[in-house]
Chains A and B, each alone.
Chain A
Amino acid sequence: MKVRSRKGSALIEFAGSLMLLSAMFTGIFQIGYMFFSYEKLVHAVRAGARYASLRGANSTGIANAEFPRAVANVVVFGDPQPAAGAKPVVSGINADNVELVLGPSAATVSVRDFEIDALFTKIKLAGRPTVTFPYTTGGAK
């Protein structure tokens, strides 16, 4: 060892540690981005379920064929009637990923068949998040 050249050993060590480091940074990014996106989805689904619980209780609400679309728009764009070119809450989600179930006393909103695209891998969510709100009748009924 003493007599052999040490040229290039730093390069090899750097290459070795870079592989480990880049894998670590990628993992940190993916986990962070996944939680960030999931929290945004939870917030959006809650807003959608709240909207559904308020409007679903209206006598005009449930019969309206446009109602599930409006709820999906609240989840995806934060607005029942989004402006043209509105950006979705999490990239890649669309109204088809939002499921609305109007039960006898409560509205349930879920995200279905959606994968969070964390650049290097896609993280599949099995029917989550799901939020249920009992109907808020207010003074309507």
Chain B
Amino acid sequence: MRGRRSCGQSLVETTLILAAFMGLMLGMAGVGETLFVREALAARAEDAARWGALHSYDAAAIRNVVLYGTNSPASGSSAFMGMSADEIEVANPGCPGVDCRIRVTIPGQGIHVVEPVEASNF
């Protein structure tokens, strides 16, 4: 070892460290993006449930609020992250009644939102 040349050693070390370091950095960015998208989707699900609680029950319109941010999207508008309506479950358990509520579930993302419907809107 003592007699051998050490030219290029730092290049090899840099390559090894860079591979691990880039993996770590890209992993952090990936986890961060996943969390960001999930939170954005959860916020949309809450908006949709709230919209549903304020209007007469219309599951398709509630799904539209999740997908497009509006109950009646313009034709050709693109859905959130390319999602489709069958990924979103909408229900109104307890309606009509004193415990009427709108439930929006996105099972693939573990999102579950319940919004109580105010008594005047049963």
Minimum CB–CB distance from B103 to chain A (whole Å) comes to 7
Task: Give the residue name and chain of the B residue nearest to A52 (CB).
Answer: B116
Q: Mark B93-104, 1 if CB is under 8 A from A, else 0.
A: 110001101010
User: B114's contact among A58, A60, A74, by CB below 8 Å, is which?
Assistant: A74
The 9 closest A-B pairs by CB, nearest first: A139-B120, A140-B119, A138-B120, A138-B119, A138-B118, A79-B114, A54-B116, A51-B116, A60-B98
Neighbouring B residues of A47 by C-beta, 8 Å: 114
Q: How many residues of B contact A (CB 8 A)?
A: 14
Neighbouring B residues of A80 by C-beta, 8 Å: 99, 101, 114, 116
Any A CB within 8 A of the CB of B113:
yes
Question: Is the beta-carbon distance between B119 and A70 smaller than 8 angstroms?
Answer: no
The 13 listed contacts between A and B (C-beta, < 8 Å) are A47-B114, A54-B116, A54-B118, A60-B98, A80-B101, A86-B112, A136-B118, A137-B119, A138-B118, A139-B118, A139-B119, A139-B120, A140-B119
Question: Is the beta-carbon distance between A78 and B112 smaller than 8 angstroms?
Answer: yes
Tell me if A's interface is mostly helix, strand, loop or mixed: loop
Minimum CB–CB distance from A64 to chain B (whole Å) comes to 9
Neighbouring B residues of A139 by C-beta, 8 Å: 118-120
